[in-house]
């Protein structure tokens, strides 16, 4: 008798989609609004991407991530990036044992499922670069030895868009390794009233369990979701549309540096995951449009004179989305 596991079925994918959809309901017990950001985090986990969250202080960026980890039953560790943070503080280092002769490797906080790099642009480039190997190869090399990181592994970095004193802009090579740059906005009037009401009733944002947040999905659901996303169809006209959109960023007069081929593949994978989460077995141009700005806004560099005129990456991308012909 064979001990081989039974073949995977569509039921696995449906159950995984339902479980991942329920994550939003759990997070809403603590974080009000921000459904788009939550969907972006789940999408990133499905395609093994990383996320850069940008928003002013106090809009629940870190709380959103820690609550997501609780709902997804993932281990999460937070690192406050500061000017004196060293690479070894993130990746780990060899330490001398009490016997004075033996060195052992002590893992850094990067050895987790979900690493929160809080205010990543406040640490020097050398420390920022310590995450490059982890983000790309999902491993850390110390003293010539590669150590694998847990699976799943996701870096969620945060940064403040309005405070630049004492910050170090992320290099293009690192920005290109983030699947999404998600903007965390202020809540609406009604959402903010609900936030105040929940705190008035005694909500403790730091205690997800007390707020009733349950783990409704985990590694198994993510693995099933990844298999399903890989099978989502993308017909040639849609693939060509995606490529045309990326190439348009390289020819646009307002853009000094356009999107790389890596960005094109990231856009493809993001669109497939977005379609699957919405219940589709194929990608339409609508899914490409839905994820275009989060996937591309941090991969383009505007010309200085265009920035001086007040243009933003999102505004330029809106223009390209309106001008690139959409397949029918």
Q: Which residues contact 45 (CB under 8 A, 6 or more apart)?
A: 72, 152, 154, 222
pLDDT at 109: 94
Q: Residue 24 — pLDDT band, cuts 50, 70, 90?
A: confident
Residue 158, beta-bridge partner list: 53
Of 29-43, 196-210, 254-268, the poorest mean pLDDT is in 196-210
pLDDT at 2: 43
Q: Looking at the structure, give the CATH architecture of the domain made up of residues 10-231.
A: 3-Layer(aba) Sandwich (3.40)
> For 72, phi and psi rounded to 5 degrees?
-100, 5
Are residues 170 and 129 in contact, defined by beta-carbon separation less than 8 angstroms? no
Of 92-101, 218-227, 281-290, the poorest mean pLDDT is in 92-101
Share of the chain above pLDDT 90, in %: 62
pTM of structure: 0.89
Q: Do β-strands 76-80 and 114-118 pair in parallel, antiparallel, or remain unpaired?
A: parallel
Q: Looking at the structure, give the CATH architecture of the domain made up of residues 232-328.
A: Orthogonal Bundle (1.10)
Q: Do domains 10-231 and 232-328 have the same CATH topology?
A: no
317 vs 122, higher pLDDT: 317
Q: Which residues contact 55 (CB under 8 A, 6 or more apart)?
A: 61, 158, 160, 161, 183, 184, 185
Quick one: which of 276, 193, 262 has its CA closest to 233? 276
pLDDT at 116: 95
Q: Residue 96 — pLDDT band, cuts 50, 70, 90?
A: confident
Mean pLDDT in residue range 263-271:
97
**Domain parsing of the chain, residue ranges:** 10-231, 232-328
Of 89-93, 135-139, 171-175, 270-274, the poorest mean pLDDT is in 171-175
Does the pLDDT at position 180 exceed 50? Answer: yes
pLDDT at 10: 60
pLDDT at 164: 62
pLDDT at 172: 83
Does the pLDDT at position 166 exceed 80? Answer: no
106 vs 100, higher pLDDT: 106
Does the pLDDT at position 38 exceed 50? Answer: yes
Q: Residue 33 — pLDDT band, cuts 50, 70, 90?
A: confident
Q: What is the dihedral of CA 69, 70, 74, 76, to 10 degrees?
A: 60
pLDDT at 9: 52
pLDDT at 58: 86
Mean pLDDT over all residues of the chain? Answer: 90
Are residues 74 and 113 in contact, defined by beta-carbon separation less than 8 angstroms? yes
> For 154, phi and psi rounded to 5 degrees?
-140, 130
Mean pLDDT in residue range 154-170:
81
Does the pLDDT at position 21 exceed 70? Answer: yes
Strongest mean pLDDT among 33-37, 57-61, 99-103, 220-224 = 220-224
pLDDT in tens, 47-68: 999 999 999 888 889 888 999 9
Of 4-13, 14-23, 155-164, 247-256, the poorest mean pLDDT is in 4-13
Which helix (H) or strand (E) covers residue 246, if one does?
A: helix 236-251
pLDDT in tens, 288-326: 999 999 999 999 999 999 989 989 999 999 999 999 999
Q: Residue 209 — pLDDT band, cuts 50, 70, 90?
A: confident
pLDDT at 7: 46
pLDDT at 6: 46
């Amino acid at each position: 008798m064979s001990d081989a596991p039974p073949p995977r079925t569509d039921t696995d994918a449906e159950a995984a989609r339902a479980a991942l959809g329920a994550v939003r309901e759990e997070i809403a017990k603590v974080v009000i609004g921000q459904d788009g950001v939550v969907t972006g985090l789940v999408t990133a986990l499905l395609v093994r991407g990383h996320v850069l969250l940008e928003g002013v202080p106090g809009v629940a960026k870190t709380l959103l991530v820690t609550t997501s980890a609780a709902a997804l039953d993932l281990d999460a560790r937070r690192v406050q990036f500061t000017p004196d943070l060293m690479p070894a503080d993130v990746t780990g280092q060899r330490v001398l044992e009490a016997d004075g002769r033996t060195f052992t490797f002590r893992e850094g906080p990067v050895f987790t499922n979900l690493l929160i790099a809080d205010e990543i642009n406040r640490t020097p480039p050398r420390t920022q670069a310590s995450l490059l190997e982890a983000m790309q190869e999902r491993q850390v090399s110390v003293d010539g030895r590669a150590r694998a990181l847990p699976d799943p592994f996701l870096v969620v970095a945060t940064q403040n868009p309005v405070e630049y004193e004492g910050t170090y802009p992320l290099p293009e090579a690192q920005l290109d390794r983030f699947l999404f740059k998600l903007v965390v906005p202020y809540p609406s009037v009604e959402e903010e009233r609900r936030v105040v009401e929940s705190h008035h009733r005694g909500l403790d944002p730091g205690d997800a369990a007390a707020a009733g947040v349950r783990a409704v999905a985990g590694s198994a659901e993510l693995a099933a979701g990844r298999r399903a996303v890989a099978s989502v169809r993308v017909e040639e006209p849609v693939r060509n549309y995606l490529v045309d959109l990326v190439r348009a960023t390289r020819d646009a007069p307002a853009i000094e540096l356009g999107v790389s081929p890596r960005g094109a593949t990231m856009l493809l994978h993001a669109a497939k995951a977005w379609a699957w989460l919405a219940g589709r077995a194929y990608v339409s141009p609508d899914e490409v449009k839905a994820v275009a700005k989060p996937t591309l806004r941090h991969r383009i560099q505007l010309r200085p004179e265009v920035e001086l005129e007040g243009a933003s990456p999102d505004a330029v991308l809106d223009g390209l989305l309106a001008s690139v012909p959409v397949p029918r």
